[in-house]
């Protein structure tokens, strides 16, 4: 059993408190540094749980964040068969009671030997794999549902709405979303679940609102592989044949601009189906094209 506290009011309060013999107090510079990587890492090393002492000097946002991390950790451990509550956040006065409660939680049968690194994501992956490997249940689930804003998850793409603009792939900070690459015969959207941190930038960026987040922890090797989320037919310039985009994207654009006053002239919508070079050539070769500067036909 590990009891984390800060070096100020937390440490001072514990110095006046009887600490149970089965609890190991450890000072942290700030209890906000005790994240899910430390919590699950401690359980992987053989601790039955972790108690974090907070005496009130911490901002409420830090307390909420730690509680959310503890909830996620207990959800994962419960799904893997480790019974009881493994984590608690309390004041020094309630520490002994919380230690007794957490001590009753199921511990891992074989302590881990990996090192907790500064790469929190890598530490979490090692910890989860170790806990799943030595889980006290006959069959480990393939996936664990998590609360919203969890740090793992899948994304769901509504293929009927998606126009394959790939704005999501360009915005993804973790390279979880990507295009099909130069070798793809069709425009593709691919996804690697292992890289996804559920930041929600892809969903916020999508102009069609076609992306939904699915917080979960996938425990199979599929999380490390590329998954095809969507693909569509390419669209080529109707004049020269150069790749212009996707058919769904062009069709959606034509549908939205068909009634616009700027595209009522003959050939205006047709030019939207051309590349930039062919569009200019078509405009200059049309003797009836009106100049937006003079209001007269282009000569």
- Could you tell me where the beta strands, DSSP code E, fall in 101-192? 143-145, 153-157, 177-179, 188-191
pLDDT surpasses 90 at 284? no
pLDDT surpasses 80 at 20? yes
Domain ranges of the chain: 2-137, 153-231, 235-285
Q: Assess contact for 48 and 1: CB atoms under 8 A.
A: yes
- State the pLDDT confidence band at 290, using cuts at 50, 70 and 90: low
Name 232's Cβ contacts closer than 8 Å, sequence gap at least 6. Answer: 163, 164, 186, 187, 246, 247, 248
Domain topology for 153-231: Alpha-Beta Plaits (3.30.70)
Q: How far apart are CA 98 and CA 79, in angstroms?
A: 22
- State the pLDDT confidence band at 291, using cuts at 50, 70 and 90: low
- pLDDT score of 269: 80
Please state whether beta strands 24-28 and 87-90 pair in parallel, antiparallel, or not at all (unpaired). unpaired
11-20, 137-146, 209-218: range with lowest mean pLDDT: 11-20
Q: 158-187: per-residue pLDDT in tens?
A: 999 998 889 999 999 999 999 987 767 788
- Any bridge partners for residue 218, and if so which? 143
Helix ranges, the chain (H): 9-14, 36-44, 60-79, 95-103, 120-133, 167-171, 201-205, 247-257, 268-271, 276-285
pTM of model > 0.95:
no
pLDDT surpasses 80 at 96? yes
Nearest to 230 by CA among 192, 182, 180: 180
Q: How far apart are CA 40 and CA 57, in angstroms?
A: 25
- State the pLDDT confidence band at 298, using cuts at 50, 70 and 90: low
Q: Length of the chain in residues, anyone?
A: 299
Nearest to 214 by CA among 204, 230, 228, 200: 200
Q: 145-155: per-residue pLDDT in tens?
A: 999 999 999 99
- pLDDT score of 142: 96
Q: Assess contact for 202 and 191: CB atoms under 8 A.
A: no
Helix or strand or coil: residue 97?
helix
């Amino acid at each position: 059993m590990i009891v984390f506290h800060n070096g100020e009011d937390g440490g001072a309060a514990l110095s006046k408190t009887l600490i149970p013999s089965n609890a190991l107090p450890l000072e942290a510079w700030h209890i906000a540094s005790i994240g899910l990587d430390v919590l699950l890492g401690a359980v992987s090393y053989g601790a039955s749980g972790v108690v974090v002492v907070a005496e009130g000097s911490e901002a409420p946002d830090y307390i909420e964040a730690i509680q959310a991390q503890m909830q996620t950790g207990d959800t994962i451990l419960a799904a893997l068969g480790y019974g009881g509550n493994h984590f608690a956040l309390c004041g020094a006065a309630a520490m002994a009671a919380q230690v007794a409660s957490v001590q009753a939680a199921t511990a891992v049968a074989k302590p881990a030997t990996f090192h907790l690194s500064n790469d929190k994501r890598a530490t979490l992956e090692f910890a989860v794999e170790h806990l799943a490997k030595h889980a006290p249940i006959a069959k480990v689930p393939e996936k664990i549902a998590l609360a919203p804003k969890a740090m793992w998850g899948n994304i769901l793409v509504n293929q009927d709405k998606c126009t394959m603009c790939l704005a999501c792939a360009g915005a993804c900070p973790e390279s979880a979303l990507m295009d099909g690459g130069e070798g793809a015969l069709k425009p593709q959207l691919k996804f690697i679940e292992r890289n996804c941190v559920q930041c929600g930038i892809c969903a916020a960026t999508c102009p069609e609102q076609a992306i939904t987040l699915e917080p979960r922890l996938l425990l199979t090797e599929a999380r490390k592989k590329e998954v095809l989320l969507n693909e569509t037919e390419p669209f080529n310039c109707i004049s020269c044949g150069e790749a212009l985009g996707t058919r769904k994207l062009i069709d959606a654009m034509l549908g939205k601009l068909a009634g616009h006053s700027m595209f009522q002239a003959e050939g205006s919508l047709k030019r939207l189906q051309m590349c930039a070079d062919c569009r200019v050539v078509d405009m200059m070769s049309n003797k009836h094209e009106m100049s937006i500067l003079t209001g007269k036909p282009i000569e």
